[in-house]
Amino acid sequence: MRHDISQLRKFVSPEIIFGAGSRHAVGNYATTFGARKVLVVSDPGVQAAGWVADVEASLQAQGLDYCLYTNVSPNPRSEEVMQGAEFYREQGCNLIVAVGGGSPMDCAKGIGIVVAHGRSILEFEGVDKLRVPSPPLILIPTTAGTSADVSQFVIISNQLERVKFSIVSKAVVPDVSLIDPETTLSMDPFLSACTGIDALVHAIEAFVSTGSGPLTDSHALEAIRLINGNLVDMIANPNDMLLRERVMLGSMEAGLAFSNAILGAVHAMSHSLGGFLDLPHGLCNAVLIEHVVAFNYSAAPERFRMVAETLGIDVRGLNHAQIRQRLVDYLIRFKQSVGFRETLGPHGVGTSDIPFLSRHAMEDPCILTNPRESTVRDVEVVYAEAL
Give the pLDDT confidence of 26-35 residue by residue, as tens digits. Answer: 999 999 999 9
Give 4's pLDDT tier (boundaries 50, 70, 90).
confident
Name the 3-class secondary structure at 59. helix
Give the pLDDT confidence of 7-66 residue by residue, as tens digits. Answer: 888 999 999 999 999 999 999 999 999 999 999 999 999 999 999 999 999 999 999 999
Main-chain dihedrals φ then ψ at residue 263, nearest 5 degrees: -120, -140
Binning the chain into helix, strand and coil, the percentages to the nearest 5 are 60, 10, 30
Please tell me whether the overall predicted TM-score, pTM, comes out greater than 0.75 for this model. Answer: yes
The CA angle 293-298-300, to the nearest 5 degrees, is: 80
CATH 1.20.1090.10 maps onto the chain at: 188-386
Domain 188-386 belongs in CATH node 1.20.1090.10: yes
Q: What is the DSSP string of 87-125?
A: HHHHHT--EEEEEESHHHHHHHHHHHHHHHH-S-GGGG-
Mean pLDDT of 302-327: 98
Chain centroid to Cα 187, Å, comes to 16
Query: What is the CATH number assigned to the segment(s) 7-184?
Result: 3.40.50.1970
Instruction: Find the largest Cα–Cα distance for the chain.
Output: 66
Q: What is the DSSP string of 347-380?
A: GT--GGGHHHHHHHHHTSGGGGG-SS---HHHHH
Radius of gyration of the chain (CA): 20
Give 3's pLDDT tier (boundaries 50, 70, 90).
confident
Torsional sign, CA 349, 351, 355, 359:
positive
Q: Which residues contact 262 (CB under 8 A, 6 or more apart)?
A: 168, 206, 209, 211, 365, 366, 368, 369
Q: What is the pLDDT of residue 50?
A: 98
Mean pLDDT of 349-376: 97
Q: What is the pLDDT of residue 2?
A: 76
CATH 3.40.50.1970 maps onto the chain at: 7-184
- Give the number of other Cβ atoms within 10 Å of residue 258's Cβ: 34
Q: What is the pLDDT of residue 308?
A: 98
Residue 185 Rama label (left phi>0; alpha psi -120 to 50; beta): alpha
Q: What is the rounded CA–CA span in Å between residue 343 and residue 328?
A: 15
Q: What is the pLDDT of residue 323?
A: 98
